[in-house]
Structure formats: C-alpha cells, structure tokens
Amino acid sequence: MVDSEPREGTRRPATLALVGVLILAVGVAGGWALSIVLHPAEDPVSAVDYATATVVQGSVGSSFELSAAALWSTAAAGTNRADGIVTSVDVAAGDSVRPGDVLYTVGLRPVIVAVGAVPSFRSIARGTAGADVRQLQRLLISLGFYRGSISGTVDAATEIAVKAWQRSLGVVPDGVVRPGDLLYVAELPTRVALDPQAVAIGATLSGGEPVLSVLADAPSFSIDVTTAQANQVPDGAGVDITGPDGAVWTSTVASRRTADDGQTVTLALQAADGSAVCGEDCAAVPPQGRTLLDATIVVVPDTTGLVVPTAALVTAADGSTRVVDARGATHAVSVGATANGMAVVTGVDAGLHVRVPTGSSG
C-alpha cells in the first residue's frame, strides 16, 4: 500500500504501485520484454518530493517464458543386407529393441536385430565356422533355442536350433541363416530409429543401405537466446520445462555457447543431479528432429516476506542498507531478494511507512 506524504510546504501527492512478480514473457518469435518497475531517483532522506509505501507481506521474483529445444543424438548402427521389397516395418522411431526382435520384413522375411561386432556378410549353414557363428549361437541361447557350447561352428545341434528359430519366425526351416536375416548392433537393449526413407512399406532394398541408428540414453535440452537475453540469465538459473505429456521437468543452466555471429547464445540445460532432464519420461520426446517445449527460466526464485520498493533502500556510509520512515528516522534492513523494482527485507515491521522519492524540485 502506498500513501502520499509530501514534505512541509509541498503538496505533491504521488502514487506508487506495490507490485509482486513481473513475469517477463518471450514468445518463440517475440521480443524480450524487460521493465524496471522503479528506479531509485534519489536518496529518500534528501528527496524534496516523496511518496510513502507501506511495508507489507508479499513476494518478489523474476522469470522468463521461452522455448526449450529437445534433441536426440543418434549414431549409425546397422546396415541392411536384405534384397527385395519392404513388406512391413515393425518398430517405430524411439522403440527399445532386444535381441531377436523383428525390425522389418523384406519379401515377408523378417530382419532380426542381434548383438555382435561382426556384421552379417554371408550365409551360415551346417559346417560354417567363424566369429559370426559365435554371435548366432549367443543369440539362439538368449532366445532359448540352443543349449550347446559357443563353439563358432554350425554343428547338428546348432542347425536344429536354427530350424526351430525359423519356425517361430514363420519362415521355411531350412537351417540356413542368410546375410539379410540378421542386423547386428554393439549393444542391446537400446532405443533405435530406422531410416524412414529407406525402410518404408513398398520401398525397394538392394543391400548395403545404412538403415538403423541408435539413440542416446536421453535427449539434450537447450535454449537459444540473444546476447542481451543471456546477460539476464546467470549460470545455474533454474529452468522448468513442460514435457509433451504435461509433466514438468526441472533443470538448470549448465553452460553457454555464443554463435560465430555473436548474436545468439545457446544455453545448455541439465538436471541438478546429473541425470536425464526428462527423467523417466524421455520416451515422450519425439526421437526425430528438434522438439520445442514451453520453458520458464527462473532468474530470481519467488521469495516471500516483507516487501518494499527498491527505490526506498538507502546505502549508508558504512555500507549497510537502510530505509527511511515517514518521520525521517532510518532503519537498518537486510535484503533477501530483489526483482523488478521490489525487495524482500528483514529488520522492519509490517505497516511501517517508508519514503520513496518521486522527484525533486527547486
């Protein structure tokens, strides 16, 4: 509450609005709005004209509404060896796959994902030996079709296991594993994405196409701002991001990088404990392209207490901060937080009327 209290011989009532948090909003294509509510024009002790503001309970804070970008990084992981027409696509971008899962079918024949360092390069049948056979035997063990040793050679037991596996897939159980039947990756389970251009129903594959990518454990999050905007945001500032499903993810500004043009600054975000920003909800973030999400940068966290205009604050010769009451007496205060022209203080009581300069006259 603000009262008019002119000095002796002066009748110049002034109105001073005591405000709470001023939210500074920035749209995706909008500008950066920044307003200082009050400027300390002069010392409240010597001000010729002043208003009085009542010390009241309230809160101050400052935040900006922006857009955060979520982006999954990917790494090439597998090359198609099948030849023919794609007849089905069995995983969606971002799906987690395990050994033995069907990725897609070519001519109705499944292409299976498995763990291995050696890419599929030849047909494997009775008598074939090598590292690729050991990979196949490990797959058959994990799927429950083989209980023999990992010998690296297709013996009778391995051939029987291959035929049983083929029956489960609905293909002719001839005991021959063709190059296009398996697509090996370094680690499983993992989240994957197929090239939507190469692997689409009706598309023709000839073998040799890089079709599979693996996704990082979690997407990265960042906010692009102008240099002027970046100057308003300290490192460590809190950022609340609203996920696609409405969940709110808490993060902080971890680092910043200025573009070569010097006009744009990218603020990198991370969770305070180093975990994924999106926590257990990362699957809600689309795995392809940049996803823009609503975000709030908390420059000054909401702080509740007794509130006065910052224009009422006086710095004494000893460096302490004071306010001047309506009678001219000074009171030492401690400032807890300031934002947008308001300050939360301790050291005075609610209801005290303090001077706020409104200008000077001769």
Q: What predicted TM-score, i.e. pTM, was given to this entire model?
A: 0.68
Q: What is the mean pLDDT of residues 207-219?
A: 95
Cβ neighbours of residue 165 under 8 Å, at least 6 residues apart? 140, 143, 145
Q: How far apart are CA 361 and CA 1, in angstroms?
A: 25
Sheet holding 353-359, edge to edge: 2-4, 49-54, 353-359
What percent of the chain stands above pLDDT 70? Answer: 86
Q: Could you write out the DSSP letters of every residue in 225-285?
A: EEHHHHTTS-TT-EEEEE-TTS-EEEEEEEEEEE-TTSSEEEEEEE-TTSS-TTGGGGGGS
DSSP state of 7: P
Q: What is the pLDDT of residues 128-154, one digit of tens each?
A: 999 999 999 999 999 999 999 999 999
Cis previous bond, 44, omega within 30: no
Return the pLDDT at 47. Answer: 53
Q: In the predicted model, is pLDDT for residue 277 greater than 90?
A: yes
Dihedral-angle region of residue 287 (phi above 0 means left; psi in -120 to 50 means alpha; beta otherwise): alpha
Q: Are 307 and 356 a contacting pair, CB within 8 Å?
A: no
Q: In the predicted model, is pLDDT for residue 10 greater than 90?
A: no
Q: Which of 200, 171, 180 is nearest to 92 (CA)?
A: 200
H or E stretch at 260: none
Q: How far apart are CA 256 and CA 1, in angstroms?
A: 41
* Strand, helix or coil for residue 36: coil
